[in-house]
């Protein structure tokens, strides 16, 4: 995907407009039933203007995913307040709380990402999966440091990190089943407690994870 516009700030602004318009249409109709003309109209662009920023409909779907992962990167992965927390438990709690907040504000993007990944062109899919891996690695590093410092049990950090990322997507993917009984704060508190209690090193567990008598 490429364009001839040299103003990078303008390009990023227009890409966000296109991504948001595409998200709205894809959520309502699915990727394959969404037309380029509809995306251009909702983005406030002419067809010709839209093609200044994308070459194909596949590029539009990629922009949606690009916007999706930019949210994680800008608001979680690069957050200095979380990166500099010295205590692993507090750091993990802060990371989970931040990610849940992002998810609650970006539910449509999360649903779209899980539903339309299969529609991505192969080269774009490879890039998107690489971005997903960065999110998992972020949590994995926190868990590994917690294990090294003796704050967390000796568990498989990679598997634990993947499980956390999957669990945090529960609200947009399964919220229809339980959110009428709980508010966002209830879900956030339960999720944090559930994850932390599962990996926290306590006196009731031996080094191999079995319960002491």
pLDDT in the model for residue 209: 47
For the chain, what is the domain count? 1
Distance CA 51, CA 70 (A): 22
Distance CA 49, CA 151 (A): 54
Residue 176, domain member (yes or no) = yes
For residue 91, give its domain range: 57-199
Confirm if 153 and 209 have CB atoms less than 8 A apart: yes
Report, as ranges of residue numbers, the positions in the chain whose pLDDT lies below 50.
Answer: 204-207, 209-213
Rounded to two decimals, the pTM is 0.82
In the chain, the percentage of residues whose pLDDT exceeds 70 is 92
**205, β-bridge pairs:** 211
Residue 150, domain member (yes or no) = yes
Structure tokens given for 122? 């192969």
Task: State phi, psi for 152 to the nearest 5 degrees.
Answer: -115, 155
pLDDT in the model for residue 188: 86
pLDDT in the model for residue 110: 85
Task: State phi, psi for 211 to the nearest 5 degrees.
Answer: -75, 130
Distance CA 185, CA 57 (A): 38
Structure tokens given for 159? 């598997």
Distance CA 12, CA 2 (A): 12
Distance CA 71, CA 145 (A): 25
Residue 119, domain member (yes or no) = yes
pLDDT in the model for residue 184: 81
pLDDT in the model for residue 133: 93
CATH code of the domain covering residue 185: 1.10.357.10
Residue 143, domain member (yes or no) = yes
pLDDT in the model for residue 202: 64
């Amino acid at each position: 995907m490429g364009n001839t516009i040299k103003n990078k700030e303008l390009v990023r602004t227009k890409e966000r407009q296109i991504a948001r318009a595409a998200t709205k249409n894809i959520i309502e109709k699915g990727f394959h039933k969404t037309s380029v003309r509809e995306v251009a109209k909702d983005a406030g662009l002419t067809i010709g203007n839209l093609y200044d920023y994308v070459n194909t409909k596949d590029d539009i779907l990629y922009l949606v995913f690009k916007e999706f992962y930019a949210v994680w990167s800008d608001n979680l992965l690069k957050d200095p307040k979380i990166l500099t927390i010295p205590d692993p438990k507090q750091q993990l709690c802060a990371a989970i709380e931040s990610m849940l907040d992002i998810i609650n504000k970006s539910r449509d993007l999360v649903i779209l990402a899980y539903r339309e990944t299969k529609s991505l062109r192969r080269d774009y899919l490879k890039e998107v999966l690489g971005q997903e891996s960065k999110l998992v690695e972020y949590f994995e590093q926190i868990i590994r440091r917690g294990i090294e410092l003796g704050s967390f049990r000796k568990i498989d950090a990679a598997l634990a990190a993947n499980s956390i990322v999957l669990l945090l997507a529960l609200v947009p993917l399964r919220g229809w089943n339980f959110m009428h009984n709980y508010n966002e704060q209830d879900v956030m508190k339960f999720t944090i407690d559930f994850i932390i209690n599962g990996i926290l090193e306590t006196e009731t567990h031996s080094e191999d994870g079995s319960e002491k008598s």
